[in-house]
Structure 1
Amino acid sequence: MALLVEVAKLMEHFQWLTEEQSHQPEAAGASLEALKEEVMDVLIYFVQLSKKLNIDLEELGR
C-alpha cells in the first residue's frame, strides 16, 4: 500500500500536464528535486518488495 501512495505522489506532479509538458515537467512548474525524491521513494519500495518476494532484480535485468 505504501508503494501505491508513493506512485500516486509522483503522479500528482504530472496530473494536469499535457503529454508534451510531461516530457519537461520542470518547464511546467514541477520541481525537479521533488520529482527525484518521489522517484527514489518509489524505487526504494520496489526494491523492498522484491526482497520480500525473493525476486532477484539483477537477474531480471539480464
Structure 2
Amino acid sequence: MNLDELTARLHAIRDQNDWRQFHSPKNLAMAASVEMAELVEIFQWLSEDQSRQLPAEKLAHAGQEVGDIVLYLLLLCAELGLDMDAVVRAKLADSERRFT
C-alpha cells in the first residue's frame, strides 16, 4: 500500500469536489469516529464466535467501513503534517518494546 499515492488520490477527489473547506483536523477526526461507529454497529449483539464468522455481506460491509476509517485517517495525517507510516511504525515499535 503506497500511502502517498492514496493520499494524492484522496486529495484529487477532495479538490474536485471543493471539500477542502470541510477537511479540518477536527472534522476529519469526527468523520473517522462516525465511520468507526458504523463498523461497531456491524458487530452489535453478535457473540464472539459470530463476530469471527461474518456472513459474506457483513464482511464486505465491514471492509467498506475499515476503508472509510483508513482514508479519513490518511486525510487527517496529511492535514496535521504527520507521516502515517512513521507514526504507525513508531507505535508498533513502542508496543513491541512494552509487550514482548
With the shorter chain as reference, the TM-score category is 0.7 to 0.9
Q: How does 1:1-62 map to 2 (within 5 A)?
A: 1-26=30-55, 31-60=58-87, 61=89
Q: State the identity as a percent.
A: 40
Gaps in structure 1 of 5+ consecutive residues: none
The CA RMSD measured in Å over matched residues stands at: 1.8
Q: 2:61 & 2:84 partners in 1: Cα distance?
A: 26
1:26 shift after superposition: 2.1
In 1, the alpha carbon distance for the partners of 2:58 and 2:81 equals 35
Give the letter aligned to residue 52 of structure 2: H
Q: Structure 1: which 4+ aligned runs deviate by more than 6 Å?
A: none
Paired positions, count: 60
Higher relative contact order (CA 8 A, sep 6+): 2
TM-score if structure 2 supplies the norm length?
Answer: 0.53
Aligned partner of 1:58: which letter?
D
- Structure-2 separation of matches of 1:33 and 1:58: 25
* Larger gyration radius, structure 1 or structure 2: 2
